[in-house]
Amino acid sequence: MSKTYDIRQIGGDKIALLGLFVASLLAARLVVGIKSAIVLSAPIPLPRTGLSASVPRGNGWESRARWARDGGTFILSSSFPSGSREPTAWVICQYRPAIERETPTMQFERRARKLDGAIVEINQTVTDSLIFDWAHVKGRETRLTLFLAAAALSDDRQLYIEVYEGTGDAEQAEQVFKKVIESVNLEDSRLRTAATRGTSKEKELL
């Protein structure tokens, strides 16, 4: 009688331990999912332009959540992991003045060469606000993944976006890239019209 009870008790303990193990795995998976979720900041406006954008913030991403001026260029950025001197991923949005007459494709090719990467895809995305020409770049000898995008604005200005991922997680980089360009909003219809004209001119150049 006691032996039967002991066997049942041991069996019950094993089942309890197995249940605890499964619960721990599910909890760990949930934590990883939460940590890897891409959370964007609230729209961050660039004064006197009608332009706003969001960048990753939280869950390991760090951003000052404001546009910073660098000469005639305004930059909005975010990096991962937070506090790292050498981030493994970053997002950079640049509002650029009319400095050079390179087409977006030329800019993408130049950036790819600088990082020893190769363009594996060139495409275009139309949002409610802008038309983005973009490229996907992969490292030749490294695991880097890079997404680049450019949209024409009024007065020959340009919005340039770069999403860099250095660990080879191309899927994560693509998700971040899509979320960022979808977050861009342009309130000034005059700028939106100019963006359309700018894209048409580029197609003529190509």
Measure CA of the first residue to CA of the last residue in the chain; give whole Å.
Answer: 88
Closest of 142, 148, 141 to residue 176, by C-alpha: 148
Enumerate the H helices of the chain as residue ranges: 2-36, 104-114, 170-183, 189-205
In which band, very low, low, confident or very high, does the pLDDT at 33 lie, cut at 50, 70 and 90?
very low
Give the pLDDT score at 126.
Answer: 97
More confident residue, 154 or 193: 154
HEC string of 65-115 equals CCCEEECCEEEEEEEECCCCCCCCEEEEEEEECCCCCCCHHHHHHHHHHHC
Distance CA 50, CA 169 (A): 33
Distance of CA 171 to the CA centre of its chain: 10
* Cα angle for residues 191, 124, 169 (degrees, 5° grid): 115
Tens digit of each residue's pLDDT (9 = 90 or more) over 146-156: 999 999 998 88
Distance CA 114, CA 181 (A): 23
Residue 97: cis peptide before it, omega within 30 degrees of 0: no
| Token pair of 63 as six digits | 């951003």
Tens digit of each residue's pLDDT (9 = 90 or more) over 95-125: 998 766 789 999 999 999 999 999 999 999 9
Long-range CB contacts (< 8 A, 24+ apart) of 29-37? Answer: 34/59, 35/59, 35/60, 36/172
pTM assigned to the model: 0.75
Mean pLDDT of 171-200: 75
10 with 2: CB under 8 angstroms? no
What are the C-alpha distances in Å from 203 to residues 17, 86, 104, 124, 196? Answer: 64, 37, 10, 12, 11
In which band, very low, low, confident or very high, does the pLDDT at 83 lie, cut at 50, 70 and 90?
confident
Query: Strand 158-165 relative to strand 73-80: parallel, antiparallel, unpaired?
Result: unpaired
